Amino acid sequence: MNCVFLAFCLSLAVTTCSATVLSGPYLFWGHQSVITLQPRALVEASEDDLTNLFQDAKAIVIFVRNTTGRLDGEAYPKFQQLVKNNAWSYLPQRFLTAEPFNYNANIEVINLSGSAEEEDDALISGYNDAVAIYGSGEVLAILASREDDTHYITKRDTKEREERTEEERGATTTSQTPTAEEEDKTFIYEALGHKAVLYVTSAPIININGKLNNTKLVSHNKDVTFDDQKGKGYGRLNVIFSVDTQKLFLRFNFTLSRGYWNMKAVEVEYNEYKSVLPVVGTLYTIPSAPIGFSYRCSSRSLQFGNDNDSLTIIDYQVQPWLNGIPRFGDVYDCVGFTTAPIWAGVLITFFLVGILSIGLIALMDIKTPNRFESSRSKQLSLFIQE
């Protein structure tokens, strides 16, 4: 047990934390059926085994490490003893073939932070609290880590973006050194469990009359969630920002109708302020696409607002109901169909069709004679003249 525990801890220490993508290796313990995964500990667990385990558990507690420090039995004695006293299984794979968020509604995610002693206490207290509610042997506990998977989900060309950034930096020698926030040119709000994602290349800008004025929302809580009410025809992508040591809540509302999703409004909550800001524009400018497709727009900004308040996002790509797939689907673009080259082609086509129509009308107007001369008619006319 100690060898497996130490192997898991050493493997876990090489991962980093920046996005809400859970990665392995994984340590499962607590639930009475978790022992069924043990014979397959050296290979990837099958999707059916994981699905059955997630569905059988009354509750799931996921512990996520946010540091790269070493985790071993000496630094975490309480956790080591806890694992020894329960059924456990070690999975060395990097990703799970089935996500627990899709098969169980009672899931709690606990981010581990602080010293080793504090993390050890958090592991014990978080698991014991769940056991006290749902019963011994009914709670599935998972220890995992975070991994930055942002480039994979956005499908953007990172190399070109870095080259463009270097050119912009080299264009001036008098500019100030950018801060860490300014250097981060991408902002990705991905719901836990790959349920929905919003990608923008610059921080959203919000205006709240009397409270915030052209404020950039740079810092946000990594635990983005998606309220999936697909059966009722709507969903909400929830993002929590930090503004002047206070929390600002944005809830992007999506509706679902006839196989198409639409992004029509955003709910804003800040201190005692609460409001719903609809999308500014026409029916054809509202972000929408079929289920399984994303919507991308870089040519114009998307603005939510009313007479006094507004929220603006620029160069964005969005998709709800990802259904656990860690990447955007095929893209619906906001670029209109009637661009200048297309208009030129349409006008030339009409011009050529007009010429062809005139030619056809001229051909149809030609009238052929209805009588023809023959050799007999010629001889008869000569005989009469004599």
Q: Could you tell me the maximum CA-CA distance found in the chain, to the nearest angstrom?
A: 140
Cis preceding linkage at 278, omega within 30: no
Give the contacts of 194 (CB within 8 A, at least 6 positions apart).
21, 99, 153, 322, 323, 324, 325, 326
User: 305 in a domain, yes or no?
Assistant: yes
Same domain flag for 123 and 157? no
Same domain flag for 209 and 223? yes
The first and second tokens of residue 37, run together, are: 């995964």
Q: Is the pTM of this model over 0.75?
A: no
Same domain flag for 309 and 207? yes
> To which H or E segment does residue 243 belong?
strand 234-243
Same domain flag for 324 and 212? yes
User: 370 in a domain, yes or no?
Assistant: no
User: 326 in a domain, yes or no?
Assistant: yes
pLDDT of residue 160: 45
Same domain flag for 12 and 134? yes
User: 376 in a domain, yes or no?
Assistant: no
Is the Cα torsion angle 33, 326, 329, 286 positive or negative in sign?
positive
pLDDT of residue 76: 84
For 187-216, the DSSP string reads EEEEBTTTS-EEEESS--EEEETTTEEEEE
CB 77 within 8 A of CB 84: no
User: 192 in a domain, yes or no?
Assistant: yes
Q: Among candidates 59, 63, 54, which has minimal Cα distance to 109?
A: 63
Q: Among candidates 36, 62, 38, which has minimal Cα distance to 49?
A: 36
CB 278 within 8 A of CB 268: no
> Tell me: the pLDDT tens digits for 268-301?
999 888 899 999 988 778 899 999 999 998 878 8
**Of the candidates 290, 312, 332, which is a domain's last residue?**
332
Same domain flag for 304 and 228? yes
- Residue 86, domain extent: 2-148
CB 65 within 8 A of CB 174: no
User: 205 in a domain, yes or no?
Assistant: yes
Question: How many structural domains does the chain have?
Answer: 2
> Residue holding tokens 């800008």?
205
CATH code of the domain in which 232 resides? 2.40.160.110
User: 363 in a domain, yes or no?
Assistant: no
Same domain flag for 136 and 158? no
pLDDT of residue 366: 84
**Of the candidates 285, 304, 332, which is a domain's last residue?**
332
Same domain flag for 161 and 83? no
Same domain flag for 202 and 54? no
Query: What is the pLDDT of the chain when averaged over all its residues?
Result: 77
> Tell me: the pLDDT tens digits for 36-52?
775 543 456 677 788 88
How are the residues of the chain apportioned to helix, strand and coil, as percentages rounded to the nearest 5?
30, 30, 35
pLDDT of residue 385: 52
Give dist(CA 155, CA 207) in Å, integer: 31
pLDDT of residue 384: 53
Same domain flag for 142 and 158? no
Same domain flag for 53 and 102? yes
Q: Which residues, given as ranges, of the chain have pLDDT below 50? A: 1, 3-20, 40-42, 68, 148-166, 168-169, 171-185
Same domain flag for 65 and 134? yes
User: 133 in a domain, yes or no?
Assistant: yes
